[in-house]
């Protein structure tokens, strides 16, 4: 009985975290395109290329974190946890902007839900 309840709770919270990761992916994709456009307009093409690469890696990490949560393997949650922590750090760096604050809030909620299912996964 307890295992069924934990399994249902895990499925529910995994779905919620998946949606949060996908929402954050869309937000970071918009932030990335906006940042790159501003850099190109300012004439920083070489810097835009380097920044674009790292922003693209961030977007991919967020997307794959949500996508991998279909699996109930422990490493997928560890990966998602690490991505959430790193994204909190990156979002905190850009805090004065409204979109970075929005991303930071989504990341904190995501991290909270991931911490709540840690006991079930272990």
Residues 75, 81, 83, 86, Cα dihedral to 10°: -140
pLDDT attached to residue 121: 64
Question: Could you give the percent of the chain with pLDDT greater than 70?
Answer: 95
CB proximity list for 91: less than 8 A, separation 6 or greater = 100, 101, 103, 104, 107
CA–CA dist 68, 121 (Å, integer)? 14
Q: State the helix-helix crossing angle for 2-41 and 45-68, rounded to 10 degrees.
A: 170
- How far CA 66 is from CA of 37, 39, 79, 114, 116, in Å, comes to 27, 29, 10, 12, 16
pTM, two decimals, is 0.85
Give tens-digit pLDDT for 65-102. 999 887 778 888 889 999 999 999 988 887 678 888 89
CA–CA separation, 79 vs 88, rounded Å?
Answer: 14
């Amino acid at each position: 009985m307890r295992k069924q309840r934990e399994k249902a709770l895990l499925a529910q919270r995994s779905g919620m975290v998946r949606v949060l990761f996908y929402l954050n992916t869309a937000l970071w994709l918009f932030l990335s395109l906006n940042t790159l456009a501003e850099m190109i307009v300012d004439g920083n093409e070489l810097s835009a290329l380097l920044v674009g690469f790292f922003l693209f890696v961030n977007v991919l990490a967020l997307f794959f974190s949500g996508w991998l949560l279909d699996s109930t393997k422990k490493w997928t949650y560890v990966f998602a946890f690490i991505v959430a922590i790193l994204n909190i750090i990156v979002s905190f760096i850009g805090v004065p902007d409204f979109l970075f604050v929005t991303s930071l809030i989504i990341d904190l909620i995501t991290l909270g839900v991931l911490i709540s299912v840690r006991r079930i996964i272990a």
